Amino acid sequence: MSGAERHPEKNYDPARVEPRWYAWWLERGYFHSEPRRGGRPYCIVIPPPNVTGILHMGHALNNTIQDVLIRWRRMQGYNAVWVPGTDHAGIATQNVVERELQKGGKSRHDLGREEFLQRVWVWKERYGSTIIGQLKRLGASCDWQRERFTMDEGLSNAVSEVFVRLYEKGLIYRGNYIINWCPRCQTALSDEESEHREVEGKLYYIRYPVHGGRKKEFVTVATTRPETMLGDVAVAVNPRDGRYKQLIGSALRLPILQRQLRVIGDDFVDPEFGTGAVKVTPAHDPNDFEIARRHDLAPVNVMNPDGTINDNGGPYAGLDRFECRRKILEDLQEQGLLEKVENHRHAVGHCYRCDTIVEPRLSRQWFVRMKQLARPAIDAVREGRIRFVPERWTKVYMDWMENIRDWCISRQIWWGHRIPIFYCRKCDNQWASRSLPARCPRCGAADIGQDEDVLDTWFSSWLWPFSVFGWPEDTPELRFYYPTSTLVTASEIIFFWVARMI
């Protein structure tokens, strides 16, 4: 044996040494766990990385912490399991694949739904494999025999099962509400997916002439979004505001379009904001939507899904929303109806995936009633069955859960779990089904179709801790490992993921 073979190397070469040790661990099954009677379970499910690309340093830190915990518990004698997997990440993955298509001058619509989804599956296999390889290269001691993907057959069955159960209990419904709409992704977003950031904007003071009044008789309203005035149906004032009390019930003329509007009194209006008079645009503002419902005012939608103005916008039809804003301000200035413009710092929603400014938009979507589901989740934390570390995040969780709103779960994209709602074209029946039906259960017709939308990515993610163990089947793994012991995750997804799982 040569001297080089007899003596240890002077420099440690991790690229050469670590793969050999890792392969040895795998060969001997050191990371694998099976349920066993009398064993003490310790379970971590990985926050599944999105298959949008490769892992970054944040993933490396997070998974190192999980690895430390799982190895420590193994050494203490626990029957410890760390379940790995990846997330299909609906909007995010569809966006990156669409960008790849755009490089070749194509869109998903050029391909059609089926061919586009085939492209996404190819992407998933490529980057999903890369992610798993990266985790192994980190030395992550996951139970690789239990690797899962959020669109695996078993997990897809769990998604359908939960949807049908909630639908049959009346906790899933379809309705017309103001939702967060991304004109770039052309889909609805949940409140948590609309990231609000403070921006330096403008507050525009616009004069609304009194109908039949003198030339200089008008009511001035303040708005940050003058382009939406095309959808105004009223001007609202606080009924206790002495400046406007006598105007309630009178008529105004909508600048430019000349539509007649009524002045209404509503307690929601803050007399201290702007001039104390606000325009009511129910198709493009959630507060205005509620005001309009109280006063039986029909909404007027002026925007297409891509953020351009539709035919209700009159001479501005076809313009992008921000180009429309610029043109409206020019026209108002020319007509002497733009009183003044002030700097105004305010919060504006942005799409959490593409950073486009979100548009509040009246739309028919699917929702989950969350208040009833939130109550036991609040109790679980109050009673100490679930603990946040650091403890300060408990307050963040509680504040959100105690003020929770219904969750918009439908997305106008193609990649994801298709909503398991079916429609009969013969008798207009609508029903939820765990599997693809052949005929309408009411009339027996075969002319049926499925809802075109897919579910929010987080709808499958909130089932992750038990769906990975075979739920809704009563499996030995589910009985032994669930509920999980520890979750290592980022604070920014307490709302998206953690709260919904609880």
Assign 175 a pLDDT band (cuts: 50, 70, 90): very high
pLDDT (tens digit, 9 = 90+) per residue, 61-79?
999 999 999 999 999 999 9
Burial class (CB in 10 A: 0-12, 13-18, 19+), 166: middle
What are the contacts of 432-438 at 24+ separation with CB within 8 A? 432/163, 432/164, 432/167, 432/168, 432/172, 433/160, 433/164, 434/157, 434/160, 434/161, 434/164, 435/160
The CATH architecture annotation of domain 25-151+458-488 reads 3-Layer(aba) Sandwich (3.40)
Q: Which amino acid is at 92?
A: A
Q: What is the CA radius of gyration of the chain?
A: 28
CB 247 within 8 A of CB 292: no
CB 273 within 8 A of CB 221: no
State the DSSP H helix or E strand holding residue 277, giving kind and residue range, or none if neither: strand 277-280
| 3 three-state secondary structure | helix
The pLDDT of residue 11: 85
Nearest-angstrom CA–CA distance, 200 and 418: 39
The pLDDT of residue 4: 44
Nearest-angstrom CA–CA distance, 445 and 431: 14
> What's the whole-number average pLDDT of the chain?
94
**Residue 173 dihedral angles phi and psi, to the nearest 5°:** -145, 165
The pLDDT of residue 15: 87
What are the contacts of 142-147 at 24+ separation with CB within 8 A? 142/31, 142/46, 142/82, 142/83, 142/84, 143/31, 143/32, 143/33, 143/81, 143/82, 143/83, 143/84, 144/26, 144/31, 144/32, 144/84, 145/32, 146/81, 146/83, 146/84, 146/468, 147/83, 147/84, 147/85
Q: What is the mean pLDDT of residues 390-410?
A: 94
Nearest-angstrom CA–CA distance, 261 and 235: 7
Assign 213 a pLDDT band (cuts: 50, 70, 90): low
Nearest-angstrom CA–CA distance, 179 and 189: 7
Q: Which amino acid is at 20?
A: R
Token digits for 169?
């209990």
Mark out the alpha helices in 174-320 (DSSP H runs).
286-294
In the structure, how many helices (H) and strands (E) does the chain have?
15, 20
Mark out the alpha helices in 13-53 (DSSP H runs).
14-27
Assign 1 a pLDDT band (cuts: 50, 70, 90): very low
Overall residue count recorded for the chain in this entry: 502
Residue 268 has pLDDT above 80, yes or no: yes
Strand ranges in 312-376 using DSSP code E only, listed in sequence order? 338-351, 359-368
CB 332 within 8 A of CB 255: yes
CB 251 within 8 A of CB 211: yes
Residue 2 has pLDDT above 50, yes or no: no
Nearest-angstrom CA–CA distance, 145 and 117: 27
Token digits for 47?
């926050």
The pLDDT of residue 191: 84
Nearest-angstrom CA–CA distance, 146 and 81: 9
Strand ranges in 313-413 using DSSP code E only, listed in sequence order? 338-351, 359-368, 407-408, 410-411
Domain locations in the chain as residue ranges: 25-151+458-488, 166-176+364-455, 189-361
Q: Which amino acid is at 218?
A: F
Assign 473 a pLDDT band (cuts: 50, 70, 90): very high
CB 45 within 8 A of CB 465: yes
Nearest-angstrom CA–CA distance, 226 and 215: 22
Nearest-angstrom CA–CA distance, 187 and 354: 12
Which one of 3.30.300.130, 3.60.60.10, 3.90.1720.10, 3.90.740.10 gives the CATH number of domain 189-361? 3.90.740.10
Assign 3 a pLDDT band (cuts: 50, 70, 90): very low
pLDDT (tens digit, 9 = 90+) per residue, 312-327?
999 999 999 999 999 9
Nearest-angstrom CA–CA distance, 137 and 15: 9
Q: Calculate what percentage of the chain has a pLDDT beyond 70.
A: 98
Q: What is the mean pLDDT of residues 223-252?
A: 96
Nearest-angstrom CA–CA distance, 123 and 265: 55
Token digits for 317?
């039809």
Q: What is the mean pLDDT of residues 100-128?
A: 96
- Cα dihedral sign, 424-429-433-437: negative
The pLDDT of residue 10: 77
pTM, entire model: 0.87
Nearest-angstrom CA–CA distance, 233 and 259: 9
Q: What is the mean pLDDT of residues 273-285?
A: 95
Q: Calculate what percentage of the chain has a pLDDT beyond 90.
A: 90
Token digits for 108?
């998903």
Nearest-angstrom CA–CA distance, 415 and 25: 36
| 352 three-state secondary structure | coil
Q: What is the mean pLDDT of residues 204-229?
A: 91
The pLDDT of residue 8: 63
